[in-house]
Amino acid sequence: MGNSGSAVKVCTEHQGGINWLSLSPDGQRLLTGSEDGTARLWSTADSQCHGHFQGHESYITFCHLENEAAFTCSADHTIRKWDVLTGQCLAIYRGHTSIVNRILVAKDYLFSGSYDRTARCWSVDKEKQIQEFRGHRNCVLTLAHYSSKDVLDESEEEEEKMSTDLLVTGSTDCTVKVWWVSSGRCYQTLLGHTGAVLCLILDAPNRELFSGSTDYTIRTWNIVTGEQLKVFKEHQGSVICLELVNRHLYSGSADRTVKCWLVDTGERIQTYKAHRHSVSTLKYHAGILFTGSGDACARAFNSKTGVLQKIFRGHKFIINCIQIHNELLYTASHDGTLRIWDIRGICKRNKRRLKKERSVQVRSSQKGSLSRLFNNKVGCMVQQENGECEAVELV
């Protein structure tokens, strides 16, 4: 059973719930977007607030942080770009006619999805709309982006000289659509879900897209052909969040569980329980699965065994987003606080456990050096060629 952890620091500067938390690529800064209509910039070195971005006329729904620029989108129908050093608003992107609920920055493009049933593409530098993607019958909730070059193998890449960008959108109209960025045309519509599509995750090198829905399923698609490859059906509630690591897919659900699936076979190999409300966010780090929940707690599980290792208590409302950097866990909640937790202890224990497991695997694979191997739940006795026995703990 996991034990309770206390926060290293609690940041209370926001005057409203925090809807999103973004980590810069270099890991030096964090950005929070809040119901109070502002975004704040935090240093991961000293956990202090070093920027306060004000200008939106309504709450911020989502934010994204680059090394030198920050992006926020809002219920005021706009997206803003900010200078992280000065806090100055560098650009305002206008055009959406309803709440902008998701943004994505890729190359020189800024993509956005809105309750106005459209997605849009903007030039990051020129404050100009490049393309509008119109065709969904309801709001666009989630986005993904890839280049045609990402899905080509080496032989195809030699033949294909032009790289084409594609945008993927998931909507409450139960569909996923793939769009040509250059023309705004719909390349394909992926049909199969019977509920709103809440989350997308892309594995471009393997030509796969994963979508989670309120119909309780996760579906895998071939992004080149549009073919539905697999349906993962064991959840008993909406699939809210997804994480893909080493061909293992982790899914967080309103049924209060996270499940781990083998992507190649579709087999469910682990279920992580203990949550008392929906699982709202998750993050894999160093063999540990961290989750945030509507029960106001974050949790750390051994990703392999499913054993709960720690509970992080202190928030008052749902945890909307988590980030991890330098063995610190950052949790952002609808209670308006950003909490910082030291996870060095559980990371260290997990590394020792993984080391022992590798040691056991190496020893058991050394043919000729072992004559007999006895296993039980507590440990294994290894009889070596010289007749001596060594006890090795199994975790």
Has residue 297 got a pLDDT over 80? yes
Q: What pLDDT score does 386 carry? A: 33
Given a cut of 90, whether residue 383 has pLDDT beyond it is: no
CA distances 370 to 43, 239, 394, Å, are 53, 47, 18
Query: Alpha-carbon distance 110 to 124, whole Å?
Result: 6
Distance CA 68, CA 83 (A): 7
Cα-based distances in Å from 67 to 22, 230, 328: 11, 37, 19
In sequence order, the β-bridge partners of residue 325 are 328
Give the pLDDT of residue 356.
Answer: 64
Residue 104: per-residue pLDDT: 98
Model confidence at 348, pLDDT cuts 50, 70, 90, reads confident
- Mind listing the pLDDT tens digit for each residue in 51-64? 999 999 999 999 99
Tell the residue number behind the tokens 């509970």, with chain if given.
311
Q: What is the pLDDT of residue 390?
A: 28
CA angle, corner 358, sides to 353 and 362, nearest 5? 150
pLDDT of residue 369: 37
371: pLDDT strictly greater than 90: no
274-297: average pLDDT: 97
Three-state secondary structure string covering 23-59: ECCCCCEEEEEECCCCEEEEECCCCCEEEEECCCCCC
Closest CA to 360 of 349, 373, 377: 373
Task: Give per-residue pLDDT as tens, 104-137.
Answer: 999 899 999 999 999 999 999 888 999 999 999 9
Taking the CB of residue 86, how many other CB atoms lie within 10 A of it?
9
Upper half-sphere CA count for residue 116 (Cβ side, 13 Å): 20
The domain segmentation of the chain, as residue ranges, is: 9-149+164-357
CATH of 9-149+164-357, one of 2.130.10.10, 2.10.60.10, 3.40.50.720, 2.60.40.1180: 2.130.10.10
Residue 372 has pLDDT above 90, yes or no: no
Would you state the pLDDT for residue 4? 57
Confidence (pTM):
0.87
Integer Cα distance of 228 and 217 in angstroms: 13
- Name the nearest CA neighbour of 48 among 29, 66, 22: 29
pLDDT at 358: 60
Q: How confident is the model at residue 162 (pLDDT cuts 50, 70, 90)?
A: low
Higher pLDDT pick, 371 / 315: 315
DSSP assignments along 191-244, one per residue: ---SS-EEEEEEEGGGTEEEEEETTS-EEEEETTT--EEEEE---SS-EEEEEE
Query: Phi/psi of residue 348, each to 5°?
Result: -65, -45
Tell whether the model's pLDDT for residue 392 goes beyond 70: no
Mean pLDDT computed over 268-281: 98
pLDDT over 90 for what percent of the chain? Answer: 80
Q: Are 239 and 218 in contact (CB under 8 A)?
A: yes
**Residue 5 pLDDT class (50, 70, 90 cuts):** low
